[in-house]
Amino acid sequence: MATLNTNDGPDDSHQRRAGVSDATVQALGKLSEALEVVEHARGYLYGFHRLSGKADLALGEAVDLLREAGAESLAANLEQRIVGRNVINGRWTFQIVEDYDDGYYSAFKEAESMVRQQLVDGKRHLFEAEMKEERRSHGLAHHQARPTEQKDR
């Protein structure tokens, strides 16, 4: 007689409760996908922030080197026109990031969380957990439903 493995499936936090429809799980999966895209966009925005700052610092070094090379007027021109310049009207990139985080990003995250809370008690990734159950090879190594305890290697 085979032993039933009670861990051969998603944990409770990744299982839908009775009465939650396939359409609801599919809609939540699409909402999760949309949030992932917003997170990805946010990463690009932070990348833009870092690269813009790095460019400004490198420009400052170039200005110093131009001065050392005797090109004072060119150095002064770059320093006055570009070093420390706003990248968008009135804003450095940190202000753009803050506006995004405090506005669209936080509103999106809050809305996604509210929908999950109302429909499935806040559970995350139900769609993905069910997809995993459909796609994994049950009973085979590296296809477990849940993490197992790591042994010392």
Model confidence over 41-78: pLDDT tens digits?
A: 999 999 999 999 999 999 999 999 999 999 999 999 99
Q: Where are the domains of the chain?
A: 23-121
Structure tokens at 119: 């429909």
Distance of CA 9 to the CA centre of its chain: 27
- Percent pLDDT > 90 in the chain is 81
Could you tell me which residue, 150 or 136, shows the higher pLDDT? 136
Half-sphere exposure of 2 toward its Cβ, with a 13 Å CA cutoff? 4
DSSP 4: P
Average pLDDT over residues 32-49: 98
Q: Give residue 19's pLDDT band: very low, low, confident or very high (50, 70, 90).
A: very high
pLDDT reported for residue 1 = 41
Single-letter code of the amino acid located at 8: D
* pTM for the predicted model, two decimal places: 0.82
